[in-house]
Amino acid sequence: MSAPKKLYIKTYGCQMNVYDSERMAEALAGYEQTDTPDDADMILLNTCHIREKAAEKVYSELGRFKGLKAEKPDLKIGVAGCVAQAEGEEIMRRQPMVDLVVGPQSYHRLPEMEARTHNGAKVVDTDFPEEDKFEKLKTRPKAKRGPTAFLTVQEGCDKFCAFCVVPYTRGAEVSRPVDRVLAEARDLVERGVREVTLLGQNVNAYHGAAQGGEWTLAQLIWALNDIDGLERIRFTTSHPNDMDDALIEAHGTCDKLMPYLHLPVQSGSDRILKRMNRSHTAESYLRLIERIRAARPDILMSGDFIVGFPEETEADFQATLDLVEEVRYGYAYSFKYSTRPGTPAAERAQVDPAEADDRLQRLQALITRDQRAIQNEMVGREMGVLFEKPGRKPGQMVGKSDYLHAVHVQAEGLQPGDLRRVRIVESGANSLRGELLD
């Protein structure tokens, strides 16, 4: 019996790409994964198009494989994900060694595409097919899983923010049917998963088909809450305009829904928000945060910010700092604006790069201050920790708290997948130390 071929996947970008890479590896059933490209029979780059010069970084990465391709002529190289969707045939033109290019909505066709490459074909599939790729994918193998998993429930976005390429690379909003999401969740639990994070480009716009009509994200969460063995539920990423009353209420009443919410605002300036086409104001966002915290007072908020957006003034930036001061984020992700070709903002007057750099440093200093303060406030509190892997010291296990902080505990007998009550006794640079209570 011949040895299985080896597949090397490099994943860029968001959690949805992590999930997609898992499903692509499963679709290519004749391969087993390897951690190095050197012994791979197929290399697959699962790309992200959000950040500046994303395509150029992919071309640079491909360039590093030229020597390997020369040594191993039978090596297959593929590009998947959002850069593949945006660049299409251009990837083949600039890097002729690439054998296949597949967009994020077509990767269920990978086995067929891969088979065609063995006949010398160069294959490009960047369609937005009508069929449901999840329905066409093979049933997930029954291999044992770690205690946490991503589960994509929604893809695409209809918001058309002026800085974002997602509507062009992922397409319009599409939600997976409820029964398929629940079936995949039950399957994950059977294989050892105790926490799922529901994924979507705009996950709280979920409107999955169900018997009797469409379900909202809140309804889906309550159905997941009834699955025995599933102990924790999270979701990301959300849009403020789609945080409905039922979802806010679920944060206060659903025990398995963790007290953590990633809710990007992008700017604290109403003028910039309008130019971004965000369709909410700083005031409406702050009032929404008030309602969420009224439902779940201990919830930890996370956010996204773009500084140096075209035409942003110092006064606009100060409004962002003021919003951050008021909200106090436990986590936040901040970026300097980068142009994405084809988006409306790319054609506008750009902020001086040095000024944008200065603003980013000032914002990150404020965010870091709040992150550290909130982490330090966890000392003395009791909370659940889902342990995931051994730590660096003998007998140490590391896991995630209800609030997503990394927690390490020194205790004999702990195993990955254990969910235990812990008292936090120390706050370190990037993690907490706890002691078992039970």
Whether residue 236 has a cis bond before it, omega within 30° of 0: no
Residue 254 annotated in ligand binding: no
78 forms beta bridges with 44, 100
Q: Please enumerate in sequence order all residues whose Cβ is within 8 A of that of 248, keeping only pairs 6 or more positions apart, or say none.
A: 291, 292, 295
Helices of type H across 99-192: 110-117, 133-136, 166-169, 178-190
Tell me phi and psi for residue 11, to 5 degrees.
Answer: -110, 130
Q: How does DSSP assign 33-64, residue by residue?
A: E-S-GGG-SEEEEEE--SSTTHHHHHHHHHHT
Q: How far is 431 from 408, CA to CA, in rounded Å?
A: 7
Residue 14 annotated in ligand binding: yes
User: Residue 194 belongs to what H/E stretch?
Assistant: none
Do the bridges between strand 195-199 and strand 148-152 make them parallel or antiparallel, or are there none, so unpaired? parallel
* Residue of 163, 178, 138, 171 whose CA lies nearest to 23: 138
Residue 157 annotated in ligand binding: yes
Q: How far is 99 from 69, CA to CA, in rounded Å?
A: 11
Q: How far is 214 from 362, CA to CA, in rounded Å?
A: 44
Q: Which residues are documented as binding site?
A: 14, 48, 82, 157, 161, 164
Q: Which residues are documented as binding site for [4Fe-4S] cluster?
A: 14, 48, 82, 157, 161, 164
